[in-house]
Every structure is written in C-alpha cells, then in structure tokens.
C-alpha cells in the first residue's frame, strides 16, 4: 500500500469534502480516504499496482477542485 497526501484547493464546506472524498474513493485501487477541510489536504491509501498519485489528482480535478 502507498499513501499520498495531496493538497486540494477550492474546498469551502463539508459538501466539498464529501465530493472530494467520493471522487477519490471511486478510483479503483483506493482503500482509504481522509479529507481535511481545515488543512486542505487529502490523505489517500492506495494500491500502487492499480493506481497512481497522478490518477488520484485527475479524479480531484474532474470533481471540480484544483491541486495545490
Ligand atoms: Cu462546499
């Protein structure tokens, strides 16, 4: 398992946190997601054989948020 900590720009409320969590969680290979509104940070545990940090970042961007 690999862990990525990704800085997320544009989250303003709990709804944003849910959207980002859902977007990351739907990526195949992701096993755990924690999103912090205060720290603007997503911590993702994933199988590096099935996905990568760049795929996770794309999922966040596709959900309408930017990478810090
Ligand atoms: Cu929001």
Distance 12 CA to ligand 1 centre (A): 5
Global pTM reads 0.95
Distance 43 CA to ligand 1 centre (A): 18
Q: Where are the domains of the chain?
A: 2-67
Distance 49 CA to ligand 1 centre (A): 32
Partners of 46 in the beta sheet?
2, 30
Burial of 35 (0-12, 13-18, 19+ CB in 10 A): buried
- Residue ranges near ligand 1 (ion) with Cβ within 5 Å: 12-13, 15-16
pLDDT tens-place values along the chain, 68 residues long: 999 999 999 999 999 999 999 999 999 999 999 999 999 999 999 999 999 999 999 999 999 999 99
Distance 21 CA to ligand 1 centre (A): 12
CATH topology of domain 2-67: Alpha-Beta Plaits (3.30.70)
Cβ atoms of 50 and 41 closer than 8 Å = no
């Amino acid at each position: 398992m690999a862990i990525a900590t990704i800085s997320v720009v544009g989250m303003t409320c709990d709804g944003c946190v849910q959207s980002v969590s859902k977007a990351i969680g739907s990526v195949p290979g992701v096993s755990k997601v924690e999103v912090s509104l205060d720290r603007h940070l997503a911590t993702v545990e994933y199988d590096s054989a099935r996905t990568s940090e760049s795929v996770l970042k794309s999922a966040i961007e596709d959900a309408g948020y930017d990478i810090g």
